[in-house]
Amino acid sequence: MVAVRFRHFFTIFVLASALLSGGSLAQTRLDGVVVTDHPAAVRAGMEILEQGGNAVDAAVAAAFALAVVDPASSGLGGGGVLVVYQTREKKAHALDFTAVSPAVSPALYQGVAGFPAGPLESGALAVGVPGTVAGLTEGLKRFGRLPLETVLAPAIRYATEGSRVTPSLRRAIEDNLPVLRQRPNFARIFLNAAGAPHGVGGVIRQPELAETLRTIAREGAPAFYEGAIGQSIAARIKKDGGAVTLEDLNSYKPVWRSPVIGKYRGRTVITAPPPSAGGLALVGLLNAMEGYGPDQFRHNSGAYLHLVAETTKAGTADLLELLGDPDFNEVPVQRITSGERAAAVRKRVSLDQAARGTATSWRSRSADDGGTNHIGVLDGDGNAVSMSVAVGSSFGAKVLVRETGIILNNQMQNFSPADGSDSAESAPNMLKPRKRPVNGMTPAILLEDDRPVLVIGACGGSRITGAVLQAILNVLDFRMPLATALAAARIHVPAGQRQTVEVETAVSEEAVKALEDKGHSIRRTSRLGAVQAIQVEGKRITGASDPRQTDAAR
């Protein structure tokens, strides 16, 4: 979903694929552009811009709104990553507000079969200390213009008056129906009296969440981490056998980190730092792809898709073995993003034959793409925000704290598995008390002449980075219009797989046959992530939502 508001000093063209029928163009003047996964969240961001807010104000408003209108994907019980660029100051910042493990011995989890798979995908033990409220309020405090009460007003209104069930929320409820039926707190909100999902267009009201948001608006983040809200969360987790305590909540702090910065074809790439694997992977893969001429391959030909797949394999084979929480481990960011590494990656890529992929001990969350939202904002002063927020898998740990209306994350599953091997025990992403697990979020801002030219990010679990990478290549190398670049068919190389490549159904049979001839094992799929993006070309501003996100095609 994408929307724009206008002010007097920029004359632009706006392609609002989610708002204007037939992909038509509208000439007008820019005051702000907001893109995200849900139309109500876009309206929340635009409402804040109309009240004089900047890009951070609007992004925070949209994120709180998403917690209400798309609770399967993000919420107050999750976490996220914020990347912001201040055009006047020419400065970039990154805020890590991902979930943190509780202050307990990892031995507590050793008896859980298949950790971090199996039982830790749901239930109280899967819950990490949530960072969303601390992160959003910290971003607003440092860079926002408007008071928290104003920024939270749209989310409070949606929770109080109700929000409509979208096709994607309906799909998430259906996908999790057996579990939700067993949990009365979920059933009373997301199911009707007969135990069936509400129909598309039906209204869901969340009065407890509305009251929680009102309390946060009055008292700020301390209400969540120290007050009655936190006490309710801790009590529910303890009752269900989890590990997060009120002391863990009291101790939570978001962390300002130096963003990962790279280059691609003359543009500066600003993206998320560790513990995000996405930012380092994106910069490293772009470095490797820059060694090939943009006119060397035909878009989505078998030869091009082979190059993307093989570069991804070679560029990420050991990446996840190097990554962990930078507060616990030294991450070799400069080496991973260096030209020398890019050259080494290209040497490992054969243009004729698929290499056997290298398995990794880090369990990248599977194809579940229901636990993340992405928000992009460009304001009238040229400031940009790219922010991803998540609860983990769809509906997180499937734990809803009734008194607060908050759904809790399942981010504990993203630590490396404790299989008893020496390599696992020493892995940078091994579970330790109050540590952040590796995540795949990939919010990014691209600059040209110190001004944003592309604000981009995606949802899609382990498929996020590949979706962002291919969209950037479509825009910069193949010069596609933004909406076309986002809609174009994609591939994905699953982490830890050998020669399997997931290929969207829109890829031609000719290209698939060429991939198979080079030794790839093909798995067809209908959807590989969903990208949100804003592009600036001189005075032409384009905002686009991925058509794979059903709600964006309105």
So where are the chain's domains? Answer: 39-256+371-376+388-418, 261-367+440-552
The pLDDT score that the predictor gives to residue 17 is: 34
Amino acid, single-letter form, for residue 403:
E
Strands 91-97 and 79-86: antiparallel
Q: For domain 261-367+440-552, is the CATH number 1.10.10.10? A: no
Q: Between the CA of residue 250 and those of 130, 229, 244, what are the distances in Å?
A: 11, 12, 11
The pLDDT score that the predictor gives to residue 16 is: 38
The CA distance from 461 to 453, in Å, is: 25
Sheet holding 491-492, edge to edge: 491-492, 500-504, 521-525
Helix ranges, 410-521 (H):
422-425, 464-476, 482-487, 509-517
| Confidence tier at 483 by pLDDT (50, 70, 90) | very high
pLDDT in tens, 243-271: 999 999 999 999 999 999 999 999 999 99
The CA distance from 370 to 396, in Å, is: 9
- Asked if residue 5 has pLDDT above 70, the reply is no
The pLDDT score that the predictor gives to residue 551 is: 40
**Opening angle at CA 271, ends 265 and 277, nearest 5:** 110
The CA distance from 500 to 80, in Å, is: 30
Segment 31-52 shows an average pLDDT of: 94
- Asked if residue 25 has pLDDT above 50, the reply is no
The pLDDT score that the predictor gives to residue 534 is: 97
Amino acid, single-letter form, for residue 144:
G
- Asked if residue 432 has pLDDT above 80, the reply is yes
Strands 540-545 and 521-525: unpaired
Percent with pLDDT over 90 in the chain: 79
DSSP SS3 for 460: coil
- Asked if residue 117 has pLDDT above 60, the reply is no
Task: Give every CB contact of residue 193 below 8 A, 6+ residues apart in sequence.
Answer: none
511 vs 27, residue with greater confidence: 511
The pLDDT score that the predictor gives to residue 495 is: 76
Active site (annotated) includes residue 404: no
- Asked if residue 220 has pLDDT above 60, the reply is yes
> Minimal CA–CA distance to 169: which of 238, 90, 67?
67
DSSP SS3 for 457: strand
The CA distance from 78 to 63, in Å, is: 11
Name the packing angle between helices 132-143 and 148-161 (round to 10°): 140
| Confidence tier at 22 by pLDDT (50, 70, 90) | very low
- Asked if residue 369 has pLDDT above 60, the reply is no
The pLDDT score that the predictor gives to residue 549 is: 77
| Confidence tier at 418 by pLDDT (50, 70, 90) | low
Structure token digits, residue 132: 């969303």
- Asked if residue 24 has pLDDT above 80, the reply is no
Segment 32-44 shows an average pLDDT of: 94
Segment 217-228 shows an average pLDDT of: 97
In contact, 238 and 400? CB cutoff 8 Å: no
The residues that bridge with 11 in the sheet, in sequence order, are 29
The residues that bridge with 447 in the sheet, in sequence order, are 268, 452
- Asked if residue 290 has pLDDT above 50, the reply is yes
- Asked if residue 15 has pLDDT above 90, the reply is no
Average pLDDT, the chain: 89
pLDDT in tens, 63-100: 999 999 999 999 999 999 999 999 999 999 999 999 99
DSSP SS3 for 219: helix
- Asked if residue 439 has pLDDT above 90, the reply is yes
Structure token digits, residue 4: 């724009």
Strands 451-459 and 372-379: unpaired
**Phi, psi angle pair for 135, to nearest 5°:** -70, -45
Task: Give every CB contact of residue 107 below 8 A, 6+ residues apart in sequence.
Answer: none
| Confidence tier at 553 by pLDDT (50, 70, 90) | very low
Segment 127-156 shows an average pLDDT of: 98
Spot the catalytic one: 372, 404, 442, 465: 372
Q: Between the CA of residue 111 and those of 18, 118, 119, 171, 515, what are the distances in Å?
A: 48, 12, 11, 34, 42
Amino acid, single-letter form, for residue 237:
I
Segment 265-279 shows an average pLDDT of: 97
The pLDDT score that the predictor gives to residue 424 is: 55
The residues that bridge with 457 in the sheet, in sequence order, are 532
The pLDDT score that the predictor gives to residue 539 is: 85
- Asked if residue 191 has pLDDT above 80, the reply is yes
In contact, 393 and 371? CB cutoff 8 Å: yes
b/e per residue 8-41 (b: at least 16 CB within 10 A): eebebebbbbbbeeeeeeeeebbbbbbbbbbbbb
The pLDDT score that the predictor gives to residue 359 is: 45
The pLDDT score that the predictor gives to residue 247 is: 97
**Opening angle at CA 368, ends 84 and 300, nearest 5:** 75
- Asked if residue 402 has pLDDT above 60, the reply is yes
